[in-house]
Structure 1
Amino acid sequence: MTSPYPFSAVVGLPDLRLALLLTAVSPAIGGVLVRGEKGTAKSTVVRGLATLLPEVDVVAGCRFACDPAAPDPSCPDGPHAPDFGLVRRRSALVELPVGATEDRVVGTLDLQRALGDGVKAYEPGLLAAAHRGVLYVDEVNLLPDHLVDLLLDAAAMGRAHVERDGVSVKHAARFLLVGTMNPEEGEPRPQLVDRFGLVVGVASPSTPAPRAEVVRRRLAYENDPSGFAARFAEEDAALAARIAVARQALPGVSLPDRQLDRIARICLAYRVDGLRADIVVARTAVALAAWHGRTVVTKDDLRDAARLALPHRRRRDPLDPPGADQERLEEILDQELDGPDDDTDGGPDDGPDGGDPPPSDPSAGSDPTAPDVSDLSNESHDAESGGGAPPPASAGPGTSPPTSPGRNADTSEISDSSDAAPGDDGNAGPATQPAGELAFAQAPYKTRLLKIGGRANRQQGAHAGRRSPAHGRHGRVVRSRQPSGGKLVSLHLPDSVRAAALRGSRAVHAQDLREAVKVGREANLVLFVVDASGSMAARQRMTVVKTAVLSLLRDAYQRRDKVGMITFRGAEATSVLEPTASHEVGVLRLAELRTGGRTPLAAGLRQAARTLHGERRRDARRRPLLVVVTDGRATSGPDPLTVAPALAGVPAVVVDCESGPVRLGLAQRLARALSADCVPLSALSAVSVVGS
């Protein structure tokens, strides 16, 4: 078996290494979520951590890793006899694949024993295997909602509950949850992010020396994994021993009332949701003190704990770009932690000569030859070192200060614009057409449910979500049927037994098996086609349109859809957002959207047809929903009705933006051509609308 890449051999990433080590010292912190671009060693560091964890004693023969010192009284393999044996083994590292099924995660009926021996037996899942170990979820932001719900329940209760296929089982499931994700692929649900105790952003090194050292070490590891691991064995062993010592010292660390008051003030000033933030900061600060050999928590421990535990917990709109609140946190920490500690350290000093800890070295995180792993909390947290968080996202060039989806916008600087802007002959492309006017969205509101009529078949309804009805692997059981093609997806146990009984057989055979047919909801691809021409540029009109699209984007986020956005103005249409799960990117693109010029509605519809065709080839199982936001006017290009046949069969909704006392009804005409529902912009409220 190939030796894993040593934890100590990782270049830079001080915040990530510190966060993982602290959760190893105190699993009660709640795990770590690692955010960063692809190729930044996220998975490598996590797998390296598993080799540092102390070994655990388990009850011999127990599939649920019961602790011999305190066996679980409700263990499905119990009750354990008083003279049970014990086995010592490494803490488990269990990887949860994004495509895992529900029964693989929580466990299910042991079909072999049920059908062969006629007994009801339980086959444990990944949650049982991860008990007292590490549960690692790569690309956690892509995890389906039903699996997220299972993780949330297990993380909150420390137990897994299995109620399926005639099986009712409860077992302990306490594990260190570690997730990695690439923000470019979309954000996970806020409830899941909140369950992670610490969140760390990582970025690749931005200077040549550490990048070269990363490559040098990686090549050396690939040439001789065992030899490379031996080079860092001593450092890894020292870290493992330090984790064990810190775990032993953890109960003796004191958290003075003064520091508790500081934690409360910091969390209040930072406007976090709930009280979990206060608890996690306190636990992390105690773990930091134990890691450094102190018996009393200091304000420096609070500062490092707050930086790791708070940035993802501030009360904010879920579609706001992440990372924008770091400066505010630093201001609060400077204010609340000003002044000396009243309490003495009470433990060994961290400095090399027994004095105060050395000052932070700005280059400590990027030293390619000797990465410091003995005092990680003092390393640089600058992204330039290769170990810090990526810089905050911005709204892009050419925009006024972006308006958060949860705030009112100032529209006082928006000027009126005619349908044909001065100097626009209707033929100018994006590179030569005027910059256009900029409007700001106001606070979003709850919109109607725009959904696709009918139910997707089992093959199509593969993306679990919250929008359109679909047959799939998840949802309520409506009936049973014989498996198609001999492949059993989900057993309907009562009907299988009933089929055997009707044959007069006392045993269930393959011909008796019945598959459960389930109906739930699926996630769709919601493609927005937005009119950005001069006819939409009136002072209040585009503000209302942007607010409506922002509200629909928020609705798509909540229903776990993919989204895309096409805008049209001047002479052509532009795909400003290719279909993606990154809804917050859609918000930024919407904030950048300028208006002006003629109205090439046909170009927008033609671009939508091309986009949907490409997406159908990439993922035929995800059904699209086309949302056209327009007043129906077309002052450039061909008649849009001539393009409508290219979108035949695509479920669509036309949001009619026409206003004023005299209305031409052009949007309704377009809706009829698309076989779509037409919803007035002013009526986009919470009433069900079904796309044809």
Structure 2
Amino acid sequence: MIDPALRPAPHFPFSAVVGHDDLRLALLLNAVHPGVGGVLVRGEKGTAKSTAVRALAALLPGLRVVPGCRFGCAPEDPDAGCPDGPHPIGGTGEVRPAQLVELPVGATEDRLVGSLDLERALSEGVRAYQPGLLADAHRGVLYVDEVNLLHDHLVDLLLDAAAMGRAHVERDGVSVSHAARFLLVGTMNPEEGELRPQLLDRFGLTVEVRAARDVDTRVEVVRRRLAFEADATGFAAEWAGTEAETAERIAAAQQRVGSVRLDDRELRRIAAVCAAFDVDGMRADLVIARAATAHAAWRGADAVAEEDVRVAARLALPHRRRRDPFDEPGIDDQTLEEALRDAAQQLDPQPPDGGGGGAPDTQPEDLRDDAASPQQDGRDDGSAGPPPTATGDPAEPGEHPGDAGQARPAGDGPGRLAPPPASPFRARRLEVPGIGEGAPGRRSRARIDTGRVVRPSDATPLRAADVHLPATIVAAAPYQRARGRIGAGLRLRHDDLRHAVREGREGNLVLFVVDASGSMAARSRMGAVSGAVLSLLRDAYQRRDKVGMVTFRGLGAELVLPPTSSVPAAQARLGSMRTGGRTPLASGLLRARRALAAERLRDPRRRPLLVLLTDGRATIAARAGGDPVVDACRAAGLLAADGVHSVVVDCERGPVRLGLAGRIALAAGGPLVTLDELSADSVAGVVTTAVSA
């Protein structure tokens, strides 16, 4: 029995969580069979994600561990490579509750995997290992809240340990390997950015949670939560019987799972479903096989059946269909049922019934009803497009006489939807000059905690991992005799410590400021600009950057895309952008300045790069009676004074060119490139050239 004194304070019972059936089932399947690979819980804020995870740990059976072992080895099967071993096999050991270890977003690598015990190394002259959170989580639950905000290198270490069941530490002169088998649970809010597809695939199951829209369900959620807050102990006691039944069922399923049969028929069903969804690699097949086995054990069956495969596939496949940042995760039930039905037909082929079925559709695909007519230009109303202008673009409302031969004046009304973005392309790396402070990412040079050591410094280290050990020893060595050293050990003083200066890569904020007025409304121009933003956003997604977008038209400016790394959110915002009207250029730059100032408060280490796309023909001043162009130049100067790196893309076209964009670039202190140098295939190269000039 577990000593009651070791039990934590009352928690919200797992059985009392209202709804979220898939979330609870996914957690239970991983508790039954840890080889499933963990759970990624996606959902909006305030949906009891953390509550359910923390409640699960209390249901897990108590663990017998070797007394004094910091790595939680089981007495009947201790880890042969345990750093605290070797342990004798057998014995009763001691019982402790299963651990719930939480990994905070701001954790460091040495806290996760462990590091050199600096105190013993310097005082006793021995290489001793200090375990990290992976050792604490062995045979328990490792919970990562907001896993999408965790540094990429920590996510890689975490998932590698979860996949292999061992943690390997090679750092600070220490080489250690220890068992690290745990139930990995990560939660995330997609609004704050996505995980890379490669990392998504490492989670065994994924669950999407949303708040219930049913009034009765919402009332019950509030009622139970208020009752728990009023009397946590009494509320837990009310659910103690149900909790005990669930815990017993988990323990029984854990005992049964090893004997559940997975015959060749169900293996072929699993393989057929994975092939139907065209998932990459073989991890999906293995996860579904293990999850189906766990589900069969959970329901008390001796063999895996089709219903077990259905449940496992529904939880294991949604995030594996997402290969590209522009793909939405998830599958619908109808698609899954069709895949299962096709798999069943392959297992039990039916003879042909000789029925009709109608004549095959032999009409060429390009002649079907949904094909576009050669006379149409892709407008929503299906009307033929206007004749091209001298620049090759269709005439649009609000074009200036110098931009098109068939211009029409534009009002300041609601405008029209911008054309769809051009096809995204692979962007080159944009790099802000200088060395930053190290916002997590993979782009510009920066001082960071996890990069390569470039030199020692006499600054006082903040933690053990920051100590530059060779430089510290060199600094202290000449004074050992004077300090009276006798025998082993090093006599150190505070001023001997040396700090390791590390350099790596950081993420940046790329803010596009786009002129969406009538003079810029040509379809090919706006399509190329939108396509470039999406392309750079895809690159930012991979490099852990942020991208934002400000547009200005009519009487003001709008932040249509707040700084984000969420590709689906960006795609939706860009699709609703409108064009037409006059040109409040100064308002656009001032709105961008406010957006950057707000982001600087939230994330002061992330350096910005502003990209302005305009023809420079400002028609509305920022102040009453002011000159529009002068006000725009003043706004650009304010951005330069804030230390914002800017590049101005001159979109002016036609035989009459005023060169107003050049004045903006001069005031902003950034380079100017022409529209002829800007295309859907070269915008990233233009920006790269600009910032490195």
1:239 and 1:616 map into 2 onto residues whose CA distance is 48
Q: Give the partner amino acid of 2:99.
A: A
**1:670 to 2:664 alignment:** yes
The answer to whether the 8 A contact 2:435-2:447 is kept is yes
Distance 1:340 1:30, change over 3 A: same
- Deviations 1:127-181 (CA, angstroms, capped at 9, x unpaired): 1111111100111111122211211221232222222222222212121100111
Report deviation, 1:486: 7.3
After superposition, the CA RMSD in angstroms is 2.7
Counterpart residue number, 2:378: 412
1:621 and 1:514 map into 2 onto residues whose CA distance is 24
The answer to whether the 8 A contact 1:166-1:493 is kept is no
Counterpart residue number, 1:46: 53
**1:467 to 2:443 alignment:** yes
Secondary structure, in 3 states, of the residue corresponding to 1:195? coil
1:320 and 1:635 map into 2 onto residues whose CA distance is 40
Distance 1:554 1:662, change over 3 A: farther
Mapping of residues 105-184 of structure 1, within 5 Å: 105-184=112-191
- Deviations 1:423-453 (CA, angstroms, capped at 9, x unpaired): 9666x3xxxx133143112331122322211
Report deviation, 1:547: 1.4
Mapping of residues 600-639 of structure 1, within 5 Å: 600-637=584-621, 638-639=628-629
Report deviation, 1:331: 5.0
Q: Give the partner amino acid of 2:519.
A: S
Distance 1:632 1:173, change over 3 A: farther
- Deviations 1:523-557 (CA, angstroms, capped at 9, x unpaired): 12221212222333323222222211111111111
Distance 1:532 1:242, change over 3 A: same
The answer to whether the 8 A contact 1:451-1:625 is kept is no
Mapping of residues 448-487 of structure 1, within 5 Å: 448-456=428-436, 460-461=437-438, 463-484=439-460
Q: Give the partner amino acid of 2:240.
A: A
- Deviations 1:103-138 (CA, angstroms, capped at 9, x unpaired): 111111212222332322111000111111110011
Report deviation, 1:579: 2.2
Counterpart residue number, 1:372: none
Distance 1:96 1:441, change over 3 A: same
The answer to whether the 8 A contact 1:419-1:598 is kept is no
Mapping of residues 362-511 of structure 1, within 5 Å: 412-413=378-379, 416-418=394-396, 420=398, 428=412, 433-456=413-436, 460-461=437-438, 463-484=439-460, 490-504=466-480, 506-511=490-495
**1:226 to 2:226 alignment:** no
Relative to the length of structure 1, the TM-score reads 0.83
Worse overlay, 677-686 or 30-39: 677-686
1:298 and 1:85 map into 2 onto residues whose CA distance is 38
Correspondence for 1:653 among 619, 623, 647: 647
Counterpart residue number, 2:691: 691
The answer to whether the 8 A contact 2:513-2:550 is kept is yes
Distance 1:596 1:309, change over 3 A: same
Distance 1:489 1:132, change over 3 A: closer
1:661 and 1:156 map into 2 onto residues whose CA distance is 63
1:177 and 1:411 map into 2 onto residues whose CA distance is 51
**1:530 to 2:514 alignment:** yes
Name which one, 1 or 2, has greater alpha-carbon Rg: 2
Q: Give the partner amino acid of 2:556.
A: E
The answer to whether the 8 A contact 2:467-2:498 is kept is yes
- Deviations 1:616-655 (CA, angstroms, capped at 9, x unpaired): 2333222212122334443444112232111012112334
Worse overlay, 18-27 or 267-276: 267-276
The answer to whether the 8 A contact 1:33-1:178 is kept is yes
Secondary structure, in 3 states, of the residue corresponding to 2:302? coil
2:272 and 2:423 map into 1 onto residues whose CA distance is 29
1:631 and 1:322 map into 2 onto residues whose CA distance is 39
Report deviation, 1:494: 0.9
2:531 and 2:253 map into 1 onto residues whose CA distance is 52
Q: Give the partner amino acid of 1:412.
A: G
The answer to whether the 8 A contact 2:192-2:565 is kept is yes
1:341 and 1:269 map into 2 onto residues whose CA distance is 14
**1:262 to 2:228 alignment:** no
Counterpart residue number, 1:514: 498
Note the residue ranges of structure 2 that are not aligned, 5 or more in a row.
Answer: 1-7, 349-369, 371-375, 386-393, 400-406, 482-489, 622-627
Counterpart residue number, 1:103: 110
Relative to the length of structure 2, the TM-score reads 0.83
Correspondence for 1:93 among 92, 95, 100: 100
Report deviation, 1:228: 1.3
Report deviation, 1:239: 1.1
Secondary structure, in 3 states, of the residue corresponding to 2:574? helix
Counterpart residue number, 1:282: 289
Report deviation, 1:215: 1.7
The answer to whether the 8 A contact 2:320-2:329 is kept is no
Note the residue ranges of structure 1 that are not aligned, 5 or more in a row.
Answer: 343-400, 402-409
The answer to whether the 8 A contact 2:398-2:581 is kept is yes
**1:681 to 2:657 alignment:** no
1:659 and 1:294 map into 2 onto residues whose CA distance is 73
Distance 1:656 1:587, change over 3 A: farther
Worse overlay, 551-560 or 314-323: 314-323
The answer to whether the 8 A contact 1:534-1:596 is kept is yes
Secondary structure, in 3 states, of the residue corresponding to 1:33? strand
1:81 and 1:251 map into 2 onto residues whose CA distance is 25
Q: Give the partner amino acid of 2:445.
A: P
The answer to whether the 8 A contact 1:43-1:138 is kept is yes
1:205 and 1:435 map into 2 onto residues whose CA distance is 37
- Deviations 1:590-627 (CA, angstroms, capped at 9, x unpaired): 12223222333222111111111222233322221212
The answer to whether the 8 A contact 2:44-2:190 is kept is yes
Q: Give the partner amino acid of 2:678.
A: L
- Deviations 1:651-679 (CA, angstroms, capped at 9, x unpaired): 12334445678866554543333222445
